[in-house]
Structures are given as C-alpha cells and as structure tokens.
Amino acid sequence: MGFVKRFGSVALLATCATMVSAQTTKNTDDSAPVNATGPYYGPWQVNATIDPKITPNGPLYTGNYVAPTTAKYDYAEVIHKSYLFYHSQRSGKLPYQRLAWRGDSCFKCTGSYGEDLSGGYYEAANTMKWGLPLGFIITQLAFNLWAFPDAYVAINEWNEGLEAVKWGTDYLINAHPQDYIFVGQLGTSAVGTTDVDFGYFGPPEEYEMWVPLGIMHTALYVTPQEPSSEITGESAAAMAAASVLFKDTNPAYAATLLNHSRVLYNFAKTYPGTYNNNTKFALAKEWYPSSQFQDEIAWAAAWLYIATNEKAYLNDSITYYNNQSTQDSWNEYSWDSKGAGLHVLLYHITKDPVYATNAKTYFTQWLPGIGSNQTIRQTPRGLGYYENWGSLSYAANAVFLMLRHAKDLGYTDSYAKTLVNFAIQQINYILGDCGRSWVVGFGENSPLRPYHKSSYNSYIDYPMRGQNQSLVGDDFLNSFTLNRFILYGALEGGPAMDDSYFDDRTNYVYTEVTQDYNAAFTGALAGLVDYYGSKNFQPFSDCGLDLGWGHKNASKPPTWPDDDCYHTCNKNCSTSKKASSMPTGVEASGPGATSTPTSAATSLTQGLTLLSVSMITIALSLLL
C-alpha cells in the first residue's frame, strides 16, 4: 500500500538526468528535504548563502489536542481562494478571465472523432489531462457541494462551486464521443527519454509554440479492447454526482450527464480492466498507477443510485464493494482509492452499521489518543503523516470524510466529536498552527515558490520566451525567483516528517500543487464552516486580492455587474443576490446557463492582450 505510488503528481521527469536520479532516491525517503548546503540537485542550488529550509515555530503537539470552540481561521476565505486555484488550472477557451495571467489555451486539442477536448483542468504544474485523477477531482468537487450545501450557499460559494464542477463535466461529456469510446488521457508526457509535456516549462497559452518535439495534445482512448474501468467508472461517478447538483436548476444538463454516466458505467462493468494492463497507457501507469478498479465501479454505482434511486445500482455498489481485490482502498482515500469514501457514502445511504464499522477502521489509523490504534505517524507539530509526497492532501482527504461522517452521526455524538476534533487539528495545522500556512496566498508565511509553471512563466510575463526549454526548465527549477503571480488557494504537498520545509520549486515533493490536493480539502473547509455554523462566517470576495490586473502587460479586467458581490468590493448584495456572475458583456449560454453561467459561452469578450493575440496568430501559422 502506498509506497509504490508517490504521485500526487507528475512533475518529475525533468529535463536533466540528475533530476531523474533525484526522484529515484527521494521516493522512499521521508526525511527532511535536502538543504542548500547538502547534496542539492541543479547547478544553482549548491549555494551555502541561501538556505530556504524552514522549520516552522508552531507549538509541538503534546498528544492532546483540544479544538478551539470558535473558528480560528477564516475557512470561507480559504474556500474562495481554493476555487481561484481551479481557475488557474483551466484549460480551453475561457468565457472570462478571472486571473490576468491566465488566458485561452489548448488550441490544438481536437480528438480523433472531431470532439473538442480543449476544456477541463490541467494537472498540477503541467498541461496533461490524466483520466483517473481528473475524474476524481470532478467527483470530489461535486461531493463537496453535495456534502455541505448549506455552508456553500451561506458563504456565497455555491454557484462558484457549480461552475467549477461544470467546467469539468463539460469536458467529460466531450470526452465521450461514442458509447464505448472515452478519452483516458490527453497530452503526451514523454516520448522515450524525451520529456514533452513535463519538459515544457512555459505557459499553457503558448504550448503549441514551444513544446519540445512539437507534439500537440494527443488523445488516448479507452475502448473495449483497451479498457479502463477505473477511468470510465470514476468519470461515470463524476457525472452522476454532478447530475444530482444540477437536477433542480438545470434539468436538461442533469439529464445529459446522467445519460453519459449510465453508459460509461455499463462500459466499466461490461469491459472490466485496468489501464495498468495497457501499453497504450504505460505513462499513466508510471505516474498515476491504479491499484484496482472495483472501487471505482462501486463508487460510480453508489453515485448513480443517489442520482436515480434505482435499487439495482445500490445492489451493484454493494456487490463490488464486497469484492474488492485488494485491501488498499480500505486504507486510503485519494484519486486512486475510493474504498474509504464508499464506507461513508454507503453508510449515509443505507445506515447499515457494517459501513460505520468499516469507516471506523479507516479513521482509526489516523486518530491519536489514549488506547488509540493509530498506525499513521504524526509529525512533531501534529500532522497525520501518510507519506512524504503530498502529505497534506492525504490528511485533508481523510478529514473531509470524517467531517461528512460526523454530520451523519450528528455533531453531538461522542465519536463524531472525536472525528471533528482531529479534523480541526489537521486543517488548522495546514492553515497556520504549525507556524506557517501551506496554502498559497493565505495566512502567515504562505508559500512563495510553488512548483507551478504558469504562475511563474505566464503568457503575460515570460522573460525566457523563445529559449530552449531545457534552459527555461533549469531556471524554473533552480532559481530562487518568486513565482511572479500569486497562485491563490493552492494547497502545497506539505512538510517533511519533521515539519520542515523548503520553499523552493526544486523540492517538488513538498512544493508541488495539484487539483487533487485541493479537491477534498475544499470540502473539508466547508465541513468546518458547517460545524462551526455558517452564520459565523462572512462571504469572501476578490476585494483586495492581487489577481495580476495591475501588471503592465495585463489586459483590461472584466467588468462585473452592479449587483456582483463575489468579484468586487460591493457589499450591498441581498442574500438572494449573492451569486457569482458573469462579467458584463459576456453571454452565458449552453446547458449551464440557467444555473451557473459558464463554460459554453461562445464569446470571449474579455481581452487577450494584443501581444498574446499576435502570438497566437504566430503559433497557429507555425502549426497550420
């Protein structure tokens, strides 16, 4: 369990051999990151005058944590910023620019069936779309809203949350051109020993111009001959969960999602198989190896039951749940493993105590205390530490489930109190209790150099534009230059086992960011808003945030309507009018228009800079 997969993501196949060996040696190493006087990788790192190692000064954990009775951090603010992070990851033609430093991208992203694959979310620092983690983050973003709807509505993040889900499900719909054909991967991470996507360190907006080997975003398909029940199952789960959210406000879209979900689910069941077994998906196996697929089938069936109330789906879910081929997913909740999520969901649906018992077995691994059977270590300052790669996300994933389960048990239940207490400890550690924040642009000492390419090299500020990508990569990895734009809301990988940390891009095991890190984290924050009482939180807005509009190369910011209190400093919105909205002049259209104006907007009226327009023209003329 665990130790074969260190892949919160994938950034590592860097351009030089030393990085590859760094990866091999780091894989099983939970020790502190290498320091600047030690054996650093990369030409600029051996510099004894710079030691970015940080040992946070938060109090040591004594083994007895008592959660504050009132919220210590503004969880509503973190949710708002977390959704901003999803904007930074958007691929395709943007209906409006939320961030001055991100624009349209994925210009050559049409699949073999003529389908438009430009939408959805990029993975981590890169521009890959890997089917399993992408499907999971969409399911989880929907799960969050489903789990704590009142909290999201009260802090005015509900519509933003729907928009984030829909940006994903619109892509999944397009990725499903025929019943038993589904896009399992978009993009090429490497060809032989040459990094393609991973070796590209510029902005997504200019990918087609500068990517190594000139290889465009190619689609790899899941088919009956080359099946992947984990990708089709997870995508079916995402669409079913999303259909529940859209059922009332956008029934046509919900119905479309449900149809795709049913077909994909049948695909997963009829052609059981894992992408690990397909040479076509060899790189997916390398970076995101799947441990099994039975859990994704059970997961899809559970969400389909919630969406349809059809008993056969519940029956299926339980059948597959009881037939998982390994115990892995009982110990983990992540992009790969859904077992723990199933304990909580099936308990919610059936109230059968067997699922509560199984949930308890999963939670027990994490919980400290007298007579505890905790197996997962805690750092000196109290973080539950599953593994060094993405430690914070494993803790956040676990506590999201704890909070949702606690809500089912009732917050006054004594076991629920234990779960909530631990959840608060973990989330507060992340937000500052250890002596620093691990969320970019939030709190004290938040990270300045996340391993994230477009906030460093943006299409509006890319000093090394046109240079060989191996040089651009060396600069990205090895320079201590801060990321030029604030990647608000991104949850970093986290600390070493001793709580220490290096705020630099070379230590990507710790400083990498991905959508899957943020996914359940966002929901856990909503769980805390729900627990403490949403009346104790104010909606947060973009007021005062630096979204890059002051940059001299930025285009004009969107103009928001008078009654917008989400993107502006306006405070005069009535509660019923708190929704996030489209900028003035941007037409909302497509299936989502009635509830959440978003992805299908046809006009891009908020400008790209003249510069980028001309560069895109150059790019296209180079390509065509």
Ligand X SMILES: *[C@@H]1O[C@H](CO)[C@@H](O)[C@H](O)[C@H]1NC(C)=O
Which residues are tagged catalytic? 503, 512
Burial class (CB in 10 A: 0-12, 13-18, 19+), 7: buried
From residue 172, how far is each of 177, 180, 242, 283, 433 by CA, in Å? 10, 14, 11, 21, 38
Contact 514, 124 (CB under 8 A): yes
CB of 151 to ligand X, least distance (A): 25
> How far is Cα 9 from Cα 585, in angstroms, rounded to an integer?
38
Buried b / exposed e along 114-140 (16+ C-beta atoms within 10 A): ebebbbbbbbbbbbbbbbbbbbbbbbb
Q: Which two tokens stand for residue 82?
A: 């977390």
- Residue 446 CA, chain-centre distance (Å), reads 19
Counting Cα atoms < 13 Å in the Cβ hemisphere of 222 gives 32
Helix, strand, coil abundance in the chain, percent, nearest 5:
45, 5, 50
How is residue 69 written in tokens?
């009775």
Q: Return phi, psi of residue 378, to 5°.
A: -120, 145
Residue nearer to ligand X on the CB measure, 181 or 255: 255
- Token digits of residue 256: 């479309």
262 DSSP assignment:
H
- Beta carbons of 537 and 155 less than 8 angstroms apart: yes
Stretch (H or E) spanning 501: strand 501-502
Residues 245 and 261: their CA atoms lie apart, in Å, by 14
Q: Which residue has the tokens 């710079």?
A: 50
Beta pairing partners, 512: 451
DSSP strands (E only) in 197-343? 219-222
Q: Which two tokens stand for residue 266?
A: 């049948």
State residue 440 phi and psi, 5-degree precision.
-60, 130
Residues 323, 324, 327, CA angle at the centre, nearest 5°? 135
Q: 614: buried, middle or exposed (CB in 10 Å: 19+, 13-18, 0-12)?
A: exposed
- Structure tokens that stand for 57 in this block: 């000064």
Task: State the nearest-atom distance from the C-beta of 231 to ligand X, in Å.
Answer: 13
**Shortest approach of ligand X to residue 532 CB, angstroms?**
26
DSSP annotation string for 318-347: HHHHTT-SSSGGGS--SSS--HHHHHHHHH
* DSSP classification of residue 505: T
CA dist 538 → 281, 397, 525, 565 (Å): 46, 25, 14, 12
**Interface with ligand X (CB under 6 A):** 35, 37-38, 44, 47, 49-50, 53, 252, 255-256, 259, 273-274, 277, 311-312, 315, 319-320, 323, 325, 364, 371-373, 460-463, 468, 470, 552-553, 562-563, 570, 572, 611
Minimum distance of ligand X from residue 38's CB (angstroms):
3
In terms of DSSP H, where are the helices of 371-429?
Answer: 391-409, 414-428
For the sheet with 219-222, list strands across it: 129-130, 182-186, 219-222
Q: Which is nearer to ligand X, 145 or 268 (CB)?
A: 268
Nearer to ligand X, 60 or 252 (CB): 252
